[in-house]
Amino acid sequence: MVLVLAIGDLHIPHRAPDLPAKFKQMLVPGKIQHILCVGNLCIEDVHDYLKSLCPDLHFARGEYDEDARYPERKTHDWSIQAWALPWPSVPWSDLDSLAMFQRQLDVDILVTGHTSQFKAYKHEGGVVINPGSATGAHSSITYDANPRFVLLDIDDLRVWVYIYELIDGQVKVDKIATTLPAH
Amino acid sequence: MEAEAPGNGTGDAKAMGKKGVPEWLNSSLWASSSSPPASASTTAAARLPRSPPSPKIVAPARAPIPKPPPPPRPPQPPSEAPRPSVDAPPDDRSPSRLSQEEVSRQFQLLAELSKKVVNIGELRRLASQGIPDGTGIRSIVWKLLLGYLPYEREFWMQELAKKRSQYKAFKEEFLMNPSEMARRLEESVGHKNEALETGGRGFLMRSEITHDEHPLSLGKTSVWNQFFQETEIIEQIERDVKRTHPDMQFFCGDSSLAKSNQEALRHILIIFAKLNPGIRYVQGMNEILAPLFYVLRNDPDQNNAVYAEADAFFCFVELLSGFRDNFCQKLDNSVVGIRYTISKLSELLKKHDGELWRHLEITTKVNPQFYAFRWITLLLTQEFNFVDSLHIWDALLSDPDGPQETLLRVCCAMLILVRKRLLAGDFTSNLKLLQNYPQTNINHLLYVANKLHGSSAG
């Protein structure tokens, strides 16, 4: 049972003041084992806050992130990768291209950011997840402005994707169950 | 220091002769050897168990009153346990070197065990003298003494089957994390999203969750929330299990044997904690479980040894039921709590050896809480080497009055056996001695303890 938080595109403070309070209420230390952050946090404070939730924090830097020391991508043991910026030749919006890209990376779960648009997509090579924006910050690409993040529960090859969404001031939780392809 | 007959008003003491000590005790036969084997540093620097390499001491997590932390117990590594099919660790006394008396006792025990209906009184009597090592019968005898096995042999199989399957159910109920539970649930209702799961492409379908069941749930009834709240206890159990008998390969080390044994201990303690929310887990329970599990796991009959975890669980419950009040902090000051028990020890010493009692508690102010707390709550597992503590447990478990009574008598005997040194010592040296009890001939100790039983009637 491994819990992984996929969160990104906060755009604090430029486009949003802070994470929604109801999210902060739920995100407490001691529960999550890994955090994958797909960039566009924007400031050090946010980084520190996420670090307090879980020491194993991985970043993929977005185009608006200030601090250049965040690495662009990191790899996990159980093959999840986070990509914030689109690879030049891979249109993020084209799912087939994404799938091919993921195949080349040879990872089971690909977490993407940048578009602030939530997505959960499965293909033969694995699963692609875009957790959306945790603050609901507007982006040039999508009008879907609900604050959102994703929590993955990985148990061997079985993955439960819990989607936490703030709608009209209430947190709504959906889940997706899927199985990773065996190697 | 007073040497006259104790004029403390207890009529019993007067009956015991001038010195207030039973005559038979004056024989030098019963005095323990003068100096302990210097196998551990006697620097009383109290080292709390922080890292595995340091000598293990068990300081019960909660001390009812402030007491000086006990210095490390001299590690007496018994030779490590070989493969589970062999019995107790091979010490010097292989079966061929058992004394005549022990051979006879072994014979009688085996005879008793092969009867259709075990005479529990006779079994107790034999066991109280000690179950000879290397005979492989301790496992069965303890199970009978603890009431795990019924006295009628014909019911053994069905009783064992029932209990073992019950334990298996406990494991399923209490040891699964929420992920595994979700998986089980899915399997029981059948996969609904088969088409999307196996191959194929497409957007994954979201489904609503029920009952607020998600990992970050703060709901009181949420299994996730409960799981995270129990993490602390589970971590404590894991820490303690890892430090149980670090000198024994059976319990500690990289071998798969040690790892599987540790896992068994962990399971038992977690399940016990969840089944008993009033008492949960208290540091030290691991030390009480360890000898039980060890003995059961080393049953020469593989059909039994393989179920050692399940059997040990029930035996542990049974054993603890007589002592659980000692672990309950709320009861510390009550009539059944640990303080009362310690005061009973004090009374016992006063009755049988008034001079020693007065010297210890009044003159040198060695309050029994300073040493007896560990003796009593951990059933003397920390005071003697592993093999010796098994012998002591033979006596503890065999007493029909219940283990507590015998335990107090053994503790009292421990004091009496070193009375010469105690009487000559001051607070510091006495405390050091009692917190670091010297190696002793256990047969002598048990004999003395038994004698106290005889003379308690006055």
Q: In the prediction, which pLDDT does A83 show?
A: 67
The string over B206-216, giving b where at least 16 C-beta atoms fall within 10 Å of a residue's C-beta and e elsewhere, is eeebeeebbbb
CA of A180, closest CA in chain B: separation in Å? 9
SS3 category, A12: coil
Q: In the prediction, which pLDDT does B359 show?
A: 94
- Indicate the pairing of strand A170-179 with strand A2-8: unpaired
Model pLDDT for residues B232-252, shown as the tens digit of each residue: 899 999 999 999 999 999 999
State what percent of residues in chain B have pLDDT above 90: 47
CB within 8 Å: B201 and A127: no
Q: In the prediction, which pLDDT does B262 show?
A: 96
Find the mean pLDDT for residues B44-61.
Answer: 39
Residue B35 pLDDT exceeds 60: no
CA of B237, closest CA in chain A: separation in Å? 17
- Tokens found for residue B269: 């303690």
What letter represents residue A58's amino acid? H
Average pLDDT, chain B: 78
More confident residue, B322 or B349: B349
CB within 8 Å: B204 and A179: no
Residue A99 pLDDT exceeds 90: no
Largest CA distance in chain A: 43
Residue B399 pLDDT exceeds 60: yes
CA nearest to B203 within chain A:
A121
Q: In the prediction, which pLDDT does B139 show?
A: 94
B interface residues, A as partner, C-beta within 8 Å: 177-180, 182-183, 186, 193, 196-209, 212, 214-216, 218, 228, 231
CB within 8 Å: B180 and A155: yes
Kindly list the residues from chain B whose CB atom is less than 8 angstroms away from the CB atom of residue A28.
216
Q: In the prediction, which pLDDT does B358 show?
A: 93
Model pLDDT for residues B214-225, shown as the tens digit of each residue: 899 888 888 888
CB B48 within 8 A of CB B243: no
Residue B306 pLDDT exceeds 60: yes
- Where would I find the H helices in B230-333? 231-242, 256-275, 285-297, 302-305, 308-321, 324-327
More confident residue, B16 or A180: A180
CA of A134, closest CA in chain B: separation in Å? 15
More confident residue, B105 or A66: B105
B362's CB contacts (< 8 A; 6+ apart) are: none
- Where would I find the H helices in B322-441? 324-327, 338-352, 354-357, 369-377, 386-398, 403-417, 419-424, 427-435
A163 touches chain B (CB under 8 A): yes
Residue B415 pLDDT exceeds 60: yes
- Tokens found for residue A139: 């982006």
Residue B57 pLDDT exceeds 50: no
Helix (H) or strand (E) holding A152: strand A148-155
CB within 8 Å: A176 and B207: yes
Q: In the prediction, which pLDDT does B51 show?
A: 41
- Among B183, B214, B228, B234, most A C-beta atoms within 10 A, so best to mutate, is B214
CB within 8 Å: B177 and A127: no
Residue A64's pLDDT band (boundaries 50, 70, 90)? Answer: low
CA nearest to A124 within chain B:
B199
CB B347 within 8 A of CB B398: no
- Tokens found for residue B190: 């059948």
CB within 8 Å: A151 and B205: no
Does the ipTM surpass 0.95? no
Compute the 3-state secondary structure of chain A and give helix, strand, coil in percent, each to the nearest 5. Answer: 15, 35, 50
Predicted model pTM: 0.71
CB-neighbour burial class of residue B424 (10 A; exposed 0-12, middle 13-18, buried 19+) = exposed
Q: Which of residues 101-130 of A touch B (CB under 8 A)?
A: 119-124, 127
Find the mean pLDDT for residues B248-270.
Answer: 94
Residue B196 pLDDT exceeds 60: no
